[in-house]
Structure 1
Amino acid sequence: MTFVLVPGAWHGAWAWHGVAQRIQARGQQAFPLTMPGLAPGEDSSNLRMEDAVSHIVKEIERRNLHDVVLVGHSWGGAPITAVAHRIPERVAKVIYYSAFVPQRGVSMNDENLPENAAYVRAAIEASPNGTVGLSFELFQQFFMQGVPEAAQRLAFDLLLPHPGGYMLDALDVDPVTTLGIPAAYVLAEQDLALARPGAEFAARIGVAPIMVPGTHESLLTHPEELAEALLGA
């Protein structure tokens, strides 16, 4: 199997390195990707969801990958859904990991409570380059709760502002299961960061969640368990 690992909002390929190394140690290929605008020094302005989708497609085609297992964490569930529709002949499976499973015409921001969605939209509009950040307090409380503060700080300091278009753009596609591509949902047991319960997102692709220990950032704190879950999904 060849795993293409797409990070969530504010994250880059670095978030997947521990999981990727464990997948590779089991004899499989793993390619963590960083989306446009989420590497230090890159211009994050005016990016749309299509930029992320096209980037993933180009990387898969550039490496001439086949039998790809697309894995998306959190926000990454949106672009991997579009990629599966774009190049279904190269995709063997889609795995959502504590992720947004998009519905046609509904953006990730639209899944939030109205007051939270309005806050995100206002932050994007107020930003000089159309991005949205994440405060350390929210990261502590909802993304990596219960983890020592030193580890929280280390992870938080690697985050970068997320292009607003990535949050606001909706997809015009149906679930990947309509393509005949197998899908799975892996969910962190203490995840508090999702806009809706993980089981509700999993039900959109007709599966029950495969549970792994940890918080929304369990790819950092429990890479061994997550790698095993992805390999067995």
Structure 2
Amino acid sequence: MNYVFVPGAWHGGWAWHPVAQRVADAGRRGIALTMPGLVAGDDARELKLIDAVTYLVTEIERRDLTDVVLVGHSWGGIPIAGAAPRLAGLLRRIAFVSAFVPRAGESMADAMSPEVGAFLRSAIEASPEHSIAVDFESFRQSLMQDEPEHLQRLVFDLLVPQPGGYMLDALEEVDLEDVPVTYLLAEEDRALAAPGVELAARAGVEPVLLPGTHETILTHPDEVAKALLEHTGS
């Protein structure tokens, strides 16, 4: 069984390394991908959401992977939903981990409140790199609240600006009917665009609760890996 991990906005594959290693220790293969534009120094100006989806599909095909559990965190729920129909026959299951479950025609910016959506659009349009960064205070309060500040700053310093196209583009179609779905939800998550229970319902499942905040994949990797193996391994 191959677990392919997709990170959220501003994050690279590094965010999944603690979970991927634990999955590997349990005898499965764990592959943590970094989407195009999310390595320091990448040029994100021309990137579109379809580029992330295509990269994900291409990497799975290039590596000749089968029996794949495709796992997305946060924004990473969008590209895994987009990739799923293109990977028919290769997927065992998809798993959303405190992740956005998109609807057809709905971008990440569209899913936010009108005020936040307007801010994202204006900030991306004003950026020479056509990207959007997150400030430390927002990160500290919404993504990693109640954790020690030294840990918050360590994670924050690893983040890079998110390509604007990833936030403003939408999937034309979303079809999750042909692949089993798992939804894992961090109990203290404040960063999701909608309540986690509602997002899980979009995928037709009940959420499995995990401890921690939005960054549970880094702060509680033992629990995340255990839940993934228990709820996706059969």
TM above 0.5, yes or no, is yes
Given that residues 175 and 205 in structure 1 are in contact (C-alpha distance below 8 angstroms), is that contact kept between their aligned partners in structure 2? Answer: no
Given that residues 85 and 175 in structure 2 are in contact (C-alpha distance below 8 angstroms), is that contact kept between their aligned partners in structure 1? Answer: no
Gaps of 5+ in 1: none
- How many Å apart are 1:175 and its aligned residue? 3.2
Distance (Å, rounded) in 1 between the aligned partners of 2:53 and 2:179: 18
Distance (Å, rounded) in 2 between the aligned partners of 1:173 and 1:29: 30
Report the TM-score when normalising by structure 2.
0.97
Summarize deviations over 1:27-72 as a string: whole Å, max 9, x none: 0001000000101221111100011011111110111000110000
Structure 1 letter corresponding to 2:39: A
- How many Å apart are 1:88 and its aligned residue? 1.3
Given that residues 76 and 99 in structure 1 are in contact (C-alpha distance below 8 angstroms), is that contact kept between their aligned partners in structure 2? Answer: yes
* Identity in percent: 55
- The match for 1:43 is 43
Given that residues 104 and 172 in structure 1 are in contact (C-alpha distance below 8 angstroms), is that contact kept between their aligned partners in structure 2? Answer: yes
Matches within 5 A, 1:183-202: 183-202=181-200
Distance (Å, rounded) in 2 between the aligned partners of 1:172 and 1:10: 23
Given that residues 175 and 204 in structure 1 are in contact (C-alpha distance below 8 angstroms), is that contact kept between their aligned partners in structure 2? Answer: no
Distance (Å, rounded) in 2 between the aligned partners of 1:183 and 1:222: 22
Matches within 5 A, 1:106-185: 106-177=106-177, 180-185=178-183
Tell me the secondary structure at the aligned position of residue 69 of structure 1.
Answer: strand
Distance (Å, rounded) in 1 between the aligned partners of 2:172 and 2:124: 22
Given that residues 213 and 225 in structure 1 are in contact (C-alpha distance below 8 angstroms), is that contact kept between their aligned partners in structure 2? Answer: yes
Given that residues 136 and 156 in structure 1 are in contact (C-alpha distance below 8 angstroms), is that contact kept between their aligned partners in structure 2? Answer: yes
Distance (Å, rounded) in 1 between the aligned partners of 2:58 and 2:119: 33
Tell me the secondary structure at the aligned position of residue 18 of structure 2.
Answer: helix
- The match for 1:62 is 62
The list of structure 1 runs, each at least 4 consecutive aligned residues, that deviate by more than 2 angstroms after superposition, is none
- The match for 1:90 is 90
- The match for 1:232 is 230
Give the total of aligned pairs.
231
Report the TM-score when normalising by structure 1.
0.98
Tell me the secondary structure at the aligned position of residue 95 of structure 1.
Answer: strand
Summarize deviations over 1:158-216 as a string: whole Å, max 9, x none: 00000010011111113312xx2100100001000001100000000111100110000
Given that residues 6 and 71 in structure 1 are in contact (C-alpha distance below 8 angstroms), is that contact kept between their aligned partners in structure 2? Answer: yes
1:73 aligns with 2:81: no
Given that residues 20 and 30 in structure 1 are in contact (C-alpha distance below 8 angstroms), is that contact kept between their aligned partners in structure 2? Answer: yes
Distance (Å, rounded) in 1 between the aligned partners of 2:69 and 2:212: 23
Gaps of 5+ in 2: none
Structure 1 letter corresponding to 2:201: A
Distance (Å, rounded) in 1 between the aligned partners of 2:8 and 2:119: 19
Tell me the secondary structure at the aligned position of residue 106 of structure 1.
Answer: coil
Matches within 5 A, 1:100-111: 100-111=100-111
